Structure 1
């Protein structure tokens, strides 16, 4: 008797209903989103006093009030790559200037009559701020390779020694700028504690009017700015 014929093997088939998506964890995504939201809220809380003081000064102004100095909008942050050096040739990081209001004078090391006038204005205005003077540092930026005279250094250091730094003019001009028709040396510049240039005094500035601007700024920022870096 012959054996019955064997049925031909049928191909094996698979049915895939669902596969997990690799690399995606729902809980992890939710945790990441929650963490980012919390971080943004913390940043907002920290920035609020700064924003509020600037809004108070720049936006909410009593009728008829005007600023004597030029407000820089948008503000210009000091470049992290600005090549600053001490007079001894040591490198100084631009970020080290953060944390304090800066009253900046730009003048060659030879320090002519205009330079002496600006340095005197810088010193006298800071002294007239009274208890708030410790919230502001004097800075002299020298855009050439010369060495200041000893008598000049002695004079500007008689009360509080300023920060004197050397920086190439072409690099400095990428940050600070004079008014049209003027030179860098004809102005004094105000930099806020976040390292942002935000005000430029007119050439031949009147001390009394400039002092009023400084007092308003210091008063508006008193809730978040403290003396010293």
Structure 2
């Protein structure tokens, strides 16, 4: 009898020791759930880190060993606006008429002084130097007053699209560093219509060409 009673006690002890283990095999404690969530967050962070750091480097840190000659602009900040512009000698025409191609853009008053003329010359030569890719580039001169232009200037730089727009509309769009104006800069617009780079009007055209070479080679549009 004593042996039977002892066996029953041992079975109860065995059950109390075995059942919690079996139960825990099917259920997770709060600590285990917490650790599992952190592991998931860690995996997501590892996968997302290359994108995060590339974004941080491009838009915040700005790598010092850059290969571009011009000043890079964040294209998301400068989408092409409606300028209420007029095509020289014609009717209303917006800058977006040239979307789908790379646009070199110069801004000037109608008298187009020496720096303006040099920029127009550079734009013409830069386009010609692209050879078979020259048709991927358009040249645009935006005039910010209503005074007449020299016909000889228009003939000399034939192929440059001349638009007239209100100076306030243009200034609200084009960025210029402190101490300079938009007339002091040559701007580059991508085929999607976003402003993405600027140069000084007296920038080295051969170095600008290197930037254009890289952009045209890397781009599948325009």
Give yes or no for TM over 0.5. Answer: yes
Higher Rg of the two aligned structures = 2
Question: Corresponding residue for 1:127?
Answer: 128
Of Structure 1 and Structure 2, which has the larger fraction of its residues in helix?
2
Other-structure match for 2:89: 88
Secondary structure in 2 matching 1:91: coil
Contact 1:103–1:188, Cα closer than 8 Å, also in 2:
yes
Q: Does 1:114 align with 2:121?
A: no
Q: Which residue of 1 aligns with 2:160?
A: 162
TM-score with structure 2 setting the length: 0.67
Distance 2:94 2:153 in 1: 25
RMSD: 2.1
Identify unmatched segments of 5+ residues in structure 2: 1-54
* Higher alpha-carbon deviation: 169-178 or 66-75: 66-75
- Assess if the C-alpha contact under 8 Å between 1:101 and 1:137 holds in 2: yes
CA contact (8 A) 1:108 1:144 kept: yes
Alignment match, 1:225: 221
Count of aligned positions = 162
1:70–1:202: 8 Å Cα contact kept in structure 2?
A: no
Q: Is the partner of 1:111 in helix, strand or coil? A: coil
Taking structure 1 as the reference length, what is the TM-score of the superposition? 0.65
Runs of 5+ unmatched residues, structure 1: 1-54
Go from structure 1 to structure 2 and tell me whether the alpha carbon gap of 1:170 and 1:120 turns closer, same or farther (over 3 Å shift).
same
Q: Are positions 1:68 and 2:66 aligned together?
A: no
Distance in 2 (alpha carbons) for counterparts of 1:136 and 1:171: 24
Return structure 1 stretches of 4+ with deviation > 6 angstroms: none
* Structure 2 equivalent of residue 177 of structure 1: 175
Structure 2 CA distance for partners of 1:203 and 1:118, relative to 1, 3 Å: closer
Contact persistence 1:87–1:147 (CA under 8 A): no
Kept in 2, the 8 Å contact 1:138–1:162? The answer is: yes
Corresponding position of 1:141: 142
**Deviation digits for residues 195-220 of structure 1 (CA, Å, limit 9, x no counterpart):** 11110013420111111111111111
1:92 counterpart SS class = coil
Structure 2 CA distance for aligned equivalents of residues 214 and 181 of structure 1:
27
Matches within 5 A, 1:5-44: none
